Every structure is written in structure tokens, then in C-alpha cells.
């Protein structure tokens, strides 16, 4: 009996393990499916503050007062803290970002200096400029309206001209049609006259042919004699041309044979296999600035040295430029850090002043709330009193 009958297959065991793992994953997913709806820790405190403000102030104030209190006590500090956090987000600065931010701060500094200088010199009221700008805009608008009106009138004029031109074309076509009719009538008359003339000439030609038949034999004899003369002349000319062609061909073959003999004689002469070269002598080609191989090698060595020196100089220049650029980046970073520190101090001072002003206004606002509550109570009592009297 084979052992496979008593042992379960491996595939079934693997499928059961996969099934168990999937069931565990499904359970974990079901337990964590509402995790996205939980409150983040940084927002939980903000929500608790809103709820506490609502529970404390709800029975005392109306809806508008509730919104004002919630905005001043909870939302305003939260948004201020959020703004400070956004402003203080660390940003990874590369070279382009550093230069761009440095240029931005430099431009702001120049604008501020220019503004201060203008204030020291006594900047004028821009109302005159605004009035002039308004007048110029009105003038431009009037010019545009006039231009539009001109275009409209030009379009109307073009339409009228087109209609008139169409009418003129119709009249010209009528005149041309009348002229063509007259020309056609005249041509018909001319054709009739020409036809009569041709018939007359044909009649005369027939009469001449009839007379010519009488001298046919004489004409044939003359033609035969003329043809024989032509054949004889052609035979003589063709023989002369053939003789000239044969002479030219013989001359051409003779020249070719002489050329072949010269080439064979040149090939049969022995050639010098070894050639001694003096490297200090020039080629003797008569060129301007001709040099020997030794001079060329020396010139090449000098050029290589000059090229190497130029490369070294270029390398040093690149290193200096790189160092200068790094120093510029460091200066820009120092400038950016100083500007950021100044902006942070200015924002902190502004925040403190705002808190002081809010702390100074809050008692007054609380006093106003109490007065309003008192007035509400009085009005309620009066309303109930009036209701009792009724």
C-alpha cells in the first residue's frame, strides 16, 4: 500500500495556512477601520477648549455673543499659533533657494529704505496723480469709443461701396454682353464671306487640277531624274564619311598603342625601395612658413605646455569662483538668518501688543456683557408684567 493514501497532500495544508492568515488580517482590518475618524492629539485640546467655553457661557449669553466669545477666547489664539507654526516650518534650502530668498530680503530692504527716504523728503499726495490717471483713462475710453464708432462707420461705408461696386459690375457685364453679341454677328458675316471665298478658290483649284492631269507624265519623268541625282550624291557623301571615320579610328588606335608602350616602359624601370629622410630638412614644397619634422615636434611640445598652463589657470579660476560663491552663499545665509530673527522679534512684539490690547479690552467687554444681561432681565420682567396685566 503506498504511503500517500494515509498522508494528506501538502497543497491542502498550505491552503489552510493561507486561509488562517487571511482571517487574521480581516479581523485586524475590522478593528482598525475607524482609526481615520479619531481626533489627533494636537486638535483634541482645541476641541476641549471649545466644548468648555460652550458649556460655561451657553446659559448666559445669546448666539451672537456666544460666537464673539468663542472667536476671541478660542479660535483667535488657535489661528495665531497655527500661523506661527506655519511661518516657522523648516525649509531645506539649496543654492537657488538661498539666492532667491536673499534677493527677496534685499529687495524688501531697498523698498523700505526708499520708502523712508521718500518720507524724509516729504512725499506728496497721490490724489493729483490719481485724478490725472482717471482723466487719462476717461480720455482713453473716449478714444476707444470713437475708434469703435469709426470702425462701425467704416464698415457701413464698405458695405455701401460693395453694393455700388456690385451694381457697376452688373452694368459692365451687360455692356460686355451687348458687345459680344455685336462681335458675334460681325464674325458670322465674316465667316459667311470667307466661306464663299473658299468655295470660289476650291472651284478654281479643281479647274487647275484638271488642267494639271494633262502634264502628269512629264512631271513623273522629272521627279525620277531628280531622285536618281539625290541617290548618287548621297552615295558619294557616305563613302567620303566612311573613309574619314576609318582614318580617325586608325589614328586613335595608334595613339593608344604608343601610350601603352610608354606605360610598360615606365613599369619595367626599377624603383628605389629605400628612401633616406632627414628630419631637420623641410619638404621643399615652397609653402609659406614651411617647417621640418623636428621643428614641428618642438612647436607641438610648446603648444602642449601652453595648453597645460591654460588648463591650470582655468582650474585655479574655477576654484576661486567656487570659493567666492560659497562665501556669497554663507553671507546670504547670515543675512537670511538675521532677517528671519528680526521678523520673528517683530512678530513676537506685535503678538505681545495684541495680547495686551485684548487683555485691556476684555474687562470692558465683560462689563458690556453684564449690562446687556441686566437689560435683558429688565426687559423680561417688563414683558411678564405686561403679560400679567393683560
Residues 281-330 pLDDT 10s: 777 777 777 788 888 889 999 999 999 999 999 999 999 999 998 898 88
pLDDT tens digits, residue range 255-264?
888 888 888 8
Query: What's the mean pLDDT in 333-338?
Result: 85
The dihedrals phi and psi of 285, each to the nearest 5 degrees, come to -85, -10
Q: Please give the pLDDT value at position 311.
A: 95
Residue extents of the structural domains in the chain: 1-89, 134-263
**pLDDT, position 365:** 43
| φ, ψ dihedrals at 287, nearest 5° | -85, 155
Whether 364 has a pLDDT exceeding 50, the answer reads no
Give the CA radius of gyration of the chain: 59
Please tell me the predicted confidence (pLDDT) of residue 211.
Answer: 72
pLDDT of residue 366: 47
pLDDT band per the 50, 70, 90 thresholds, residue 136: confident
Please say if the pLDDT value at position 277 is more than 70: no
Q: By percentage, how much of the chain surpasses pLDDT 70? A: 63
Only one residue has cell 445669546, namely 62
Return the top range by mean pLDDT from 30-39, 199-208, 298-307, 366-375.
Answer: 298-307
First to last CA, the chain: 110
- Enumerate residues 6+ apart whose C-beta is below 8 A from 102: 332, 335, 336
Residue 252 CB-half CA count within 13 A: 6
What pLDDT score does 270 carry?
65
Distance CA 11, CA 18 (A): 11
CA pair distance 19, 25, nearest whole angstrom: 10
CA distance 332 to 103: 9
pLDDT exceeds 70 at position 341 = yes
A 10 A CB-CB count for 74 gives: 19
For the stretch 150-167, pLDDT in tens is 666 666 667 677 766 777
The mean per-residue pLDDT over the stretch 195-202 comes to 87
Mean pLDDT of 207-215: 71
Mean pLDDT across 22-40: 67
Q: How many CB atoms lie within 10 A of CB 102?
A: 19
User: What pLDDT, on a 0 to 100 scale, did the predictor assign at position 15?
Assistant: 85
What's the pLDDT score for residue 308? 94
pLDDT tens for 2-14 read: 666 667 778 888 8
Q: What is the pLDDT of residues 54-107, one digit of tens each?
A: 555 555 545 555 555 555 555 566 556 655 554 455 556 678 888 888 888 888
In 3D space, the residue among 81, 74, 76, 78 whose CA is nearest the CA of residue 53 turns out to be 74
What proportion of the chain, given as a percentage, has pLDDT over 90? 7
Choice among 109-113, 136-140, 164-168, 321-325 with the minimum mean pLDDT: 164-168
All three cell numbers of 99, joined, read 539666492
Residue 75 CB burial class (10 angstroms; 0-12, 13-18, ≥19) = middle
Mean pLDDT of 219-245: 81
Instruction: Give the residue among 354, 356, 373, 364 at the shortest CA–CA distance from 57.
Output: 373
Average pLDDT, the chain: 74
Residue 202, phi then psi, degrees to nearest 5: -65, -40
pTM higher than the cut 0.75: no
SS (H, E, C) the chain: CCHHHCCCCHHHHHHHHHHHHHHHHHHHHHHCCCHHHCCCHHHHHHHHHHHHHHHHHCCCCCHHHHHHHHHHHHHHHHHHHHHHHHHCCCCCCCHHHHHHHHHHHHHHHHHHHHHHHHHHHCCCCCHHHHHHHHHHHHHHHHHHHHHHHHHHHHHHHHHHHHHHHHHHHHHHHHHHHHHHHHHHHHHHHHHHHHHHHHHHHHHHHHHHHHHHHHHHHHHHHHHHHHHHHHHHHHHHHHHHHHHHHHHHHHHHHHHHHHHHHHHHHHHHCCCCCCCCCCCCCCCCCCCCCCCCHHHHHHHHHHHHHHHHHHHHHHHHHHHHHHHHHHHHHHHHHHHHHHHHHHHHHHHHHHHHHHHHHHHHHHHHHHHHHHHHHHHHHHHHHHHHHHHHHC
Amino acid at each position: 500500500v503506498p504511503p500517500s493514501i494515509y498522508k494528506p497532500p501538502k497543497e491542502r495544508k498550505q491552503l489552510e495556512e493561507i486561509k488562517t492568515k487571511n482571517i487574521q488580517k480581516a479581523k485586524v482590518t475590522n478593528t482598525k477601520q475607524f482609526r481615520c475618524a479619531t481626533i489627533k492629539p494636537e486638535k483634541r485640546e482645541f476641541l476641549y477648549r471649545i466644548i468648555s467655553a460652550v458649556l460655561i457661557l451657553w446659559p448666559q449669553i445669546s448666539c451672537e455673543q456666544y460666537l464673539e466669545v468663542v472667536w476671541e477666547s478660542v479660535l483667535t489664539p488657535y489661528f495665531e499659533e497655527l500661523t506661527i507654526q506655519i511661518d516657522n516650518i523648516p525649509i531645506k534650502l539649496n543654492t537657488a533657494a538661498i539666492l532667491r530668498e536673499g534677493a527677496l530680503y534685499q529687495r524688501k530692504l531697498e523698498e523700505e529704505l526708499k520708502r523712508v527716504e521718500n518720507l524724509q523728503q516729504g512725499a506728496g499726495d497721490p490724489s493729483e496723480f490719481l485724478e490725472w490717471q482717471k482723466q487719462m483713462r476717461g480720455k482713453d475710453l473716449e478714444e476707444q469709443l470713437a475708434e469703435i464708432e469709426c470702425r462701425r462707420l467704416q464698415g457701413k461705408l464698405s458695405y455701401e461701396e460693395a453694393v455700388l461696386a456690385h451694381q457697376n459690375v452688373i452694368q459692365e457685364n451687360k455692356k460686355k454682353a451687348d458687345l459680344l453679341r455685336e462681335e458675334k454677328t460681325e464674325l458670322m458675316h465674316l465667316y459667311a464671306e470667307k466661306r464663299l471665298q473658299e468655295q470660289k478658290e476650291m472651284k478654281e483649284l479643281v479647274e487647275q487640277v484638271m488642267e494639271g492631269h494633262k502634264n502628269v507624265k512629264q512631271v513623273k519623268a522629272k521627279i525620277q531624274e531628280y531622285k536618281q541625282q539625290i541617290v548618287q550624291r548621297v552615295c558619294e557623301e557616305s563613302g567620303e564619311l566612311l573613309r574619314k571615320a576609318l582614318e580617325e579610328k586608325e589614328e586613335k588606335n595608334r595613339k593608344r598603342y604608343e601610350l601603352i608602350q610608354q606605360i610598360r616602359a615606365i613599369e619595367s624601370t626599377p624603383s628605389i625601395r629605400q628612401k633616406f629622410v632627414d628630419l631637420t630638412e623641410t619638404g621643399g614644397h615652397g609653402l609659406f612658413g614651411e617647417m621640418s619634422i623636428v621643428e614641428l615636434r618642438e612647436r607641438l611640445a610648446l603648444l602642449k605646455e601652453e595648453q597645460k598652463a591654460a588648463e591650470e589657470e582655468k582650474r585655479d579660476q574655477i576654484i576661486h569662483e567656487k570659493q567666492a560663491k560659497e562665501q556669497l552663499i554663507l553671507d546670504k545665509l547670515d543675512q537670511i538668518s538675521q532677517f528671519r530673527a528680526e521678523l520673528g522679534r517683530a512678530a513676537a512684539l506685535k503678538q505681545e501688543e495684541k495680547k495686551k490690547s485684548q487683555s485691556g479690552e476684555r474687562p470692558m467687554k465683560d462689563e458690556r456683557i453684564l449690562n446687556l444681561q441686566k437689560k435683558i432681565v429688565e426687559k423680561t420682567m417688563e414683558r411678564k408684567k405686561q403679560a400679567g396685566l393683560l
